[in-house]
Structure 1
Amino acid sequence: MVSENNHYSRNAKFVSVLFVLYYYLDLSVIGDVIRLGPLSYSIGNVDGLSVVSFFSLVYFAFRFYVSSDADLLSRYLSYVGLACSKYTRTSPVLNSLSKSNCRRHVKRQDVSNYKIRLSEILRDESYIDNFEFGELTIYGGGYDRNRGSKGLYIDYEIEPKLDDLTRIQSYRARAKVNFFSSALLYFSAFILFFLKDDSFWDVLLTYVLLVIAFSLLIWNDFLFPVIISF
């Protein structure tokens, strides 16, 4: 069910529908008097109603945009994080790309302390010089919203190559997702967002109604009168 928790969205849709009906039904102002309850007001500048209507619609559109933009982006980024966490482990293509990215990442890391710790556990100092990484596993991922490290990331662990069955703690690190994988994940997240998130359809409907209302208002009250005057 589509959520109506955002009253700015509800107001924007309601006002937009009023504008659409006004122009679709070809309604017009009769006389120059407005009645608000027991009070009546005479309108000296009837043409000014178009300007008032335009800025009223702008106000409702702006309030809707401000209230929905941050929330919509936050919802979408949560789907981006979900897609990264899921598809880098389950999708054969993204898993392969992510593992290649992680192997390049670990080559750029300073793993000297990890090597020393392994050599101490194995009681073999020569292992530092003969060190090699083996199997790599991706166990997590998501979208980091912190300003300094904003973006998609992958959590991975990689086991050292050992000749015996000694159980050694794997090397764990976090890598940034490369551009191509990021593009696939953002697209996958958009599909999930498009299919599963109720707010997407509510926001889309509101924007469509606002665009139609603005188009009708500008054409009928501003552009068309100028065109026919020539």
Structure 2
Amino acid sequence: MKTALAIRHLDFEDLGTLEQLLAERGYAVRYQDAPTDDLRTVDTAQADLLVVLGGPIGAFDEALYPFIEDELALIRQRLDSRRPLLGICLGAQLIARALGADVASMGVKEIGFAPLTLTPEGEASPLAALGQVPVLHWHGDRFDIPAGATRLAGTAICANQAFSIDGHVLALQCHLEADPRRIERWLVGHACELAQAGIDPRALRAEAHALQSDLPLAARAAFAAWLDGIETAPRRAAS
């Protein structure tokens, strides 16, 4: 059986709709909780897919949250192996930082549902399956595109929303995995952030309800297209 290892920072920021797709495609899913598990003991070579999920801290906050150092080391190990790696929000920022790119505050929050604007390369990528379906954005930091990576998408607020490397790395600033049918966990878990940003949870709830059918289908199509690519690529030996 194939294995997918997900590095999680908050219980409710999990694999979302991606988890069912992975199960259907024969993956056994295992979580490692970055704040409490010893990431130094994790052997990324044992996983067919590594997913680094989101969270409300910064990719540059290791002075406050020392486990980030171990997480960056784990990501670098995976990058060196050139085996499939997916980063979402904080996970994408950590991948960018591990590759030497700058990660910093935007000075503004991007929270809510909005479609991505794809680059020409993005139009030829798995993200093309999204069309104009709005996806969930929930962040205040942004990453630069690492050297050697391909920029795939942006928004008016955040120019860099996605990048890829040779098909085996996909980094998403947006929360494509988030299930709009389970938005209430996000609204409660991030209640303080929403209040500080002046965002009414009732508006987000209404947006999520309107997308509860279209978004999971679009996300599934995009993730399935990416998985098709990594599953048909020659297996790379860990370095």
Shorter-chain TM-score bucket reads under 0.3
State the TM-score, normalizing by the size of structure 2: 0.21
Larger Rg: 1
State the TM-score, normalizing by the size of structure 1: 0.22
In terms of fraction of residues, the more helix-rich structure is 1
